[in-house]
Amino acid sequence: MVGLTERQDQVLAFVVQEYVENAQPVGSETLRRRGLGVSSATIRNELAALEELGFLMQPHTSAGRVPTEKGYRYFVESLMDEFELPLVEQRMIRHQFHQVTLDIDQWMRLAAAVLAHSSHGAALVTAPQSEHCRFKHLQLIAISDQVALLVIVLYEGTVKQQMLALAQPIEQEDLMRVSNRLNDYLGGRNGEQIRALAIALSAFESDVVRIVAEVMRQVDARSSQDVYRDGMMDILRQPEFSASERIQALLEMLEQRSLLEAMLSEFAPARGVHVVIGSESQRDEMNDFSIVLARYGLPGEATGVVGVLGPVRMQYARSIGAVRYVAGLLGDLMARMHGR
């Protein structure tokens, strides 16, 4: 890519900032007032050049300029100031996390809330998962004569529960014995190993094992995975979504959890903050949106994704800062939970 002149950089940066702020095509006069030391005519020349190069476009002949995706991309890569979350905000966030109980579910909720709040976009968070989850512990608890609760704890920290119908009443004592026995057999194994396990079990025990295997299969397939979401409202307030079909398209996408899940994994292959702008995602339904996301967690063991979804006209610096900080924080918390 050919380099732009310093002034072109400056003009492009101003256009992006101005447009992000006001959602209105920005003209030469506005730009001049913004403080470049040259006349509007000069700026018009630069604007024409930037348009020629594909960084800007005009919605129609006599409107101001709007950044193209290429323009945003260049802005994010080369023009944008690094943005760290203000220290006060960082402290506040840390504080909130320490106040909440040590529960993955709650962490995810809080992460989404915090992210939505500080990025002014829609936050998306997935719980940490490893390639193949490993069994840690199960516990059977009598609920009534005919029903028992099966709690399954995975090494990743995920806790799944499942009720099961009992053919005949079983005492809590016996359930405990079964739990202990199965824990000995299953501890540390992954789903595949458990499915392949060939040991002598009672009918009830093998029922339980089958359920455990099924649950772990679901977790592995991420099919049961929830995407924690927050801040949907903020995004609707953006002027580009005042048309109701667009709102619908957006909401429909956000409802489709499976789609979100797939996207999140696809766009955040490794650690670090990734930015996907509009149609770069190669997905039609994302054409009007950008997403900033990062993988967090213990690489190789268990990782999840945090991200911010917003209009292409998004506050990238702010979002990137927020995502980076929250990802780091969640990573620390996980490390601590796993006792490292």
Q: How far is the CB of 339 from a second copy (least distance, A)?
A: 4
Residue selected from 13, 36, 159, 259 as contacting a second copy according to rule CB under 8 A: 159
Cα(128)–Cα(123) distance, integer angstroms: 16
- Residue 157 has phi, psi (to 5 degrees) of 100, -10
Amino acid at 257: R
DSSP 126-178: E--B-SS-BEEEEEEEE-SSSEEEEEEEETTS-EEEEEEE-SS---HHHHHHH
DSSP 235-293: HHTSGGG-SHHHHHHHHHHHH-HHHHHHHHHHH--SBEEEEEEGGGG--GGGTTEEEEE
User: Of residues 2-41, which lie at the interface with DNA (CB under 7 A)?
Assistant: 25-30, 37-41
Interaction of residue 131 with a second copy, rule CB under 8 A: no
In Å, how far are 116, 159, 181 from 318, measured between CA atoms? 11, 33, 52
Interaction of residue 71 with DNA, rule CB under 7 A: no
Amino acid at 243: A
Number of amino acids touching DNA (CB under 7 A) = 24
For residue 203, the surrounding DSSP H or E stretch is helix 203-220
Q: How far is the CB of 63 from DNA (least distance, A)?
A: 5
DSSP 1-33: -PPPPHHHHHHHHHHHHHHHHH-S-B-HHHHHH
Contacts of 299 (CB under 8 A, 6+ apart): 271
Residue selected from 8, 9, 13, 51 as contacting DNA according to rule CB under 7 A: 51
Interaction of residue 252 with a second copy, rule CB under 8 A: yes
Interaction of residue 258 with a second copy, rule CB under 8 A: no
Closer of 240 and 266 to a second copy (Cβ):
240
- CA neighbor of 163 nearest in space, from 143, 177, 145: 143
Q: How far is the CB of 25 from a second copy (least distance, A)?
A: 21
Interaction of residue 65 with DNA, rule CB under 7 A: yes
- CA neighbor of 289 nearest in space, from 269, 326, 260: 260
* Residue span binding a second copy (CB under 8 A) among the ranges 46-54, 56-64, 299-307, 332-340: 332-340
Q: Which does 29 bind (CB under 5 to 8 A by kind): DNA, a second copy, none?
A: DNA
Closer of 188 and 339 to a second copy (Cβ):
339
Cα(206)–Cα(208) distance, integer angstroms: 5
Residue selected from 161, 202, 223, 258 as contacting a second copy according to rule CB under 8 A: 161
Q: Which does 207 bind (CB under 5 to 8 A by kind): a second copy, DNA, none?
A: none
Residue selected from 210, 248, 266, 272 as contacting a second copy according to rule CB under 8 A: 248
Amino acid at 271: R
Interaction of residue 313 with DNA, rule CB under 7 A: no
* Residue span binding a second copy (CB under 8 A) among the ranges 74-82, 232-240, 264-272, 318-326: 232-240
Q: How far is the CB of 26 from a second copy (least distance, A)?
A: 24
Interaction of residue 135 with a second copy, rule CB under 8 A: no
Residue selected from 11, 16, 47, 152 as contacting DNA according to rule CB under 7 A: 47
Three-class DSSP category at 317: helix
Closer of 38 and 80 to DNA (Cβ):
38
Q: Which residues here bind a second copy, judged by CB under 8 A?
A: 101-105, 136-137, 139, 141-147, 149, 151, 153, 157, 159, 161-165, 172, 232-233, 236-237, 241-244, 247-248, 251-252, 255, 336-339
Q: Which residues here bind DNA, judged by CB under 7 A?
A: 25-30, 37-42, 44-45, 47-48, 51, 58, 60-65
